[in-house]
Amino acid sequence: MQKRFFCFGQKVNFGNSNLLKMETTTIELDEVLLAEADLSLLRKLVVHNDEVNTFDWVIETLIKVCGHTFEQAEQCSLFIHYKGKYGVKTGLFDALQPMKDAIAERGINVTIE
């Protein structure tokens, strides 16, 4: 697991003087940073349109399985409907495979490309 350290300056008002309070925050990253990843290893989790699954079911699935917000899931479902398919998530194959399996178990056509 990689760790990155960032310093954030915050202006603090003490009476007549303004001081800059510095805080150090540790952010732990559990996935490889996109900037550091070998881009040739990245894949897309692609959901395909069908005539069976409802918008609500696809939206609920994307929220639960992919961690999308409601707005993200709703936009993805519209792209899927109008374009025929849409890459709902990008990442390494090993990270996408469990999501693909979970989406497929819900009866939605999904591939990793």
Give how many domains the chain has, as a whole number: 1
Distance separating alpha carbons of residues 35 and 24, to the nearest angstrom: 22
Q: What is the pLDDT of residue 5?
A: 40
Q: What is the pLDDT of residue 13?
A: 47
Q: Residue 44 belongs to a domain with what CATH number?
A: 3.30.1390.10
Largest Cα span, the chain: 66
- Mean pLDDT for back-to-back runs of 10 residues, the chain (113 residues): 42 48 47 61 96 97 98 97 97 96 98 97
Q: What is the pLDDT of residue 55?
A: 96
C-alpha distances out from residue 100 to 10, 33, 43, 82, 107, Å: 42, 21, 12, 21, 11
**Residue 103, domain member (yes or no):** yes
Tokens 């150090």 correspond to what residue?
24
Q: What is the pLDDT of residue 33?
A: 57
Strands in 110-112's sheet, in edge-to-edge order, are 85-92, 42-48, 110-112
**Residue 76, domain member (yes or no):** yes
